[in-house]
């Protein structure tokens, strides 16, 4: 698939109505010299005013959800956002939806939304790496790019996409890979769905759609614990004591941990048969595979009842595990969900 649309073609037939759903992030921040850094500052309406060119493409209606730095995102806000999107999807006066979001946890929100919503209208998330105080802020360009993407016919593909720095990326696969460069996002081995330049929006790929879960109403605690040489297992014990229902262990390579962590996991499972341990990896790419045997190897972790986490990264694994637990899925179903190849 390699399809290109010029803006003139896509805007034909009258202006579309786009909902601008705002949650904050750097795109809505300015540097406050009194506190010495960027803080939430702009409303959706104010952001629109700073990008007058947007009027050439569509009419906008602002739908505020929160105005926070995305470091403060949580499941309650994800659900509020998901319900808003469902409502906007049913609104006959809205043709497409842009979500403004901080970049730090954008991938988690994108992953969550794609698990609970199949986009019935074109929907994309964007943000900025540079705040509105900077002369070369990337927010305005990202916002225009996103609107242009949403006006192409291929944007209605069921996926809630991320548009950043001229790339259209599958919302299930997107990851923030750079903490400071404006080219901060990619889709890993899944690549990009398309690109945006001054003249065209060009689509290369179609995303896979998954909408497996209902929007949850409760949020079981799932923690993430990193494996590193010398890790004692105390963090696992603390998480269990603190009421976690599951832990994503970020192991080495294809899903291995030290003897020490293995023994801690074994002792927890001895007393709490329903507790879910899921093994993920510190490697940015690749699958969890039962290759290595012995205490700590993925072969023995699997025998112990640890779920092998497929190729999702730890933070996405945590969200997927929480959704499974919200739905009270038995462990056998959780295993098959994580092993399904179409989830990546």
The distance of closest approach from Cβ of residue 221 to ligand ASP in the complex, given in angstroms and rounded to an integer, is 23
The answer to whether residue 127 forms part of the interface with ligand ASP (CB under 6 A) is yes
For ligand ASP, which residue of 5, 7, 104, 145 counts as binding (CB under 6 A)? 104
With b for 16 or more beta-carbon neighbours within 10 A and e for fewer, the 200-221 pattern comes to: bbbbebebbebeebebbeebbe
Asked if 312 and 320 touch (Cβ cutoff 8 Å), the reply is yes
What is the nearest approach in angstroms of ligand ASP to the Cβ of residue 242? Answer: 26
CB of 214: closest distance to ligand ASP in angstroms?
27
Using CB under 6 A as the binding rule, whether residue 103 contacts ligand ASP is answered as: yes
Q: How far apart are CA 276 and CA 334, in angstroms?
A: 9
Nearer to ligand ASP, 8 or 71 (CB): 71
By C-beta, is 95 or 104 nearer to ligand ASP? 104
Q: In what helix (H) or strand (E) does residue 266 lie, and over which residues does it extend? A: helix 259-271
Binding residue (CB under 6 A) for ligand ASP from 102, 207, 251, 314: 102
| H or E segment to which residue 236 belongs | helix 234-241
User: Quick one: which segment of 100-108, 148-156, 166-174, 320-328 binds ligand ASP (CB under 6 A)?
Assistant: 100-108
Which residue, 51 or 289, has its beta carbon nearer to ligand ASP?
51
CA distance 191 to 18: 27
Residue number with CB closer to ligand ASP (74 or 336): 74
Q: How far is the CB of 102 from ligand ASP (least distance, A)?
A: 2
| CB-based burial label for 299 (10 Å; 0-12, 13-18, 19+) | middle
DSSP assignment of 88-144: HHH-TT--EEEEE--STTHHHHHHHHHHH---SS-EEEE--SS-TTSTT-SHHHHHH
Q: Does 159 bind ligand ASP (CB under 6 A)?
A: no
25 makes contact with ligand ASP (CB under 6 A): yes
When CB distances to ligand ASP are compared, the closest residue is 102
Member of 69, 108, 138, 223 binding ligand ASP (CB under 6 A)? 69
Identified binder of ligand ASP from the candidate list 10, 22, 26, 256, rule CB under 6 A: 26
Please give the Cα distance from 24 to 101 (Å, whole number).
5
Residue 40 or residue 233: which is nearer to ligand ASP going by CB? 40
Strand ranges, E, within the chain: 3-6, 16-24, 29-32, 37-40, 58-68, 96-100, 123-126, 160-164, 167-169, 175-176, 185-186, 194-196, 200-203, 222-226, 246-251, 276-281, 307-308
Minimum distance, C-beta of residue 71 to ligand ASP, in the bound complex (Å): 6
- Part of the chain binding ligand ASP (CB under 6 A), chosen from 2-10, 99-107, 110-118, 288-296: 99-107
Comparing C-alpha atoms, which of 232, 219, 292, 223 is closest to residue 261? 232
- Binding map of ligand ASP across residues 271-310, x = CB under 6 A, - = no contact: ----------------------------------------
Pick the catalytic residue from 26, 109, 126, 146: 26
Rounded-to-5 percentages of helix, strand, coil across the chain: 35, 25, 40
Does the protein bind ligand ASP through residue 157 (CB under 6 A)? no
Task: Name which position in 70, 109, 311, 313 contacts ligand ASP (CB under 6 A).
Answer: 70
Is 139 among the residues that bind ligand ASP (CB under 6 A)? no
Residue 26 annotated in active site = yes
Q: Are strands 276-281 and 307-308 parallel, antiparallel or unpaired?
A: parallel
Residues that bind ligand ASP (CB under 6 A): 25-26, 69-71, 102-104, 127, 129
What is the set of active-site residues? 26
């Amino acid at each position: 698939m390699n399809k290109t649309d010029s803006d003139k073609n896509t805007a034909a037939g009258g202006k579309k109505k786009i909902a601008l759903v705002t949650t904050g992030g750097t795109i809505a921040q300015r540097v406050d010299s009194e506190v010495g850094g960027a803080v939430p500052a702009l409303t959706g309406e104010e952001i629109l005013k700073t990008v007058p060119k947007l009027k050439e493409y569509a009419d906008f209606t602002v739908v505020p959800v929160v105005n926070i730095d995305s470091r403060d995102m949580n499941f309650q806000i994800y659900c509020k956002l998901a319900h808003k999107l469902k409502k906007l999807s049913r609104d006959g006066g809205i043709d497409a939806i842009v979500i403004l979001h901080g970049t730090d946890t954008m991938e988690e929100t994108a992953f969550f939304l794609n698990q609970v919503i199949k986009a019935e209208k074109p929907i994309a998330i964007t943000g900025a790496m540079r705040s509105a105080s900077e002369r070369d802020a990337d927010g305005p360009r990202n916002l225009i790019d996103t609107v242009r993407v949403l006006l192409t016919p291929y944007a209605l593909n069921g996926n809630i996409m991320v548009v950043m720095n001229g790339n259209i990326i599958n919302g299930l696969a997107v990851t923030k890979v750079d903490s400071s460069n404006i080219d901060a996002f990619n889709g890993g081995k899944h690549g990009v769905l398309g690109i945006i330049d001054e003249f065209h929006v060009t689509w290369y790929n179609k995303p896979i759609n998954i909408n497996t879960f209902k929007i949850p109403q409760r949020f079981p605690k799932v923690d993430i614990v990193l494996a590193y040489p010398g890790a004692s297992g105390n963090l696992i014990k603390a998480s269990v004591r603190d009421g976690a229902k599951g832990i994503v262990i970020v192991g080495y390579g294809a899903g291995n941990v030290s003897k020490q962590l293995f023994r801690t996991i074994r002792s927890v499972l001895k007393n709490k048969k329903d507790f879910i341990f899921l093994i993920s990896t510190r490697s940015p790419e690749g699958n969890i595979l039962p290759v290595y045997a012995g205490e700590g190897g993925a072969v023995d972790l699997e025998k112990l009842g640890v779920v092998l986490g497929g190729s999702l990264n730890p933070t996405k694994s945590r969200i997927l595990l929480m959704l499974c637990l919200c739905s009270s899925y038995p462990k056998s179903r959780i295993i098959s969900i994580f092993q399904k190849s179409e989830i990546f």
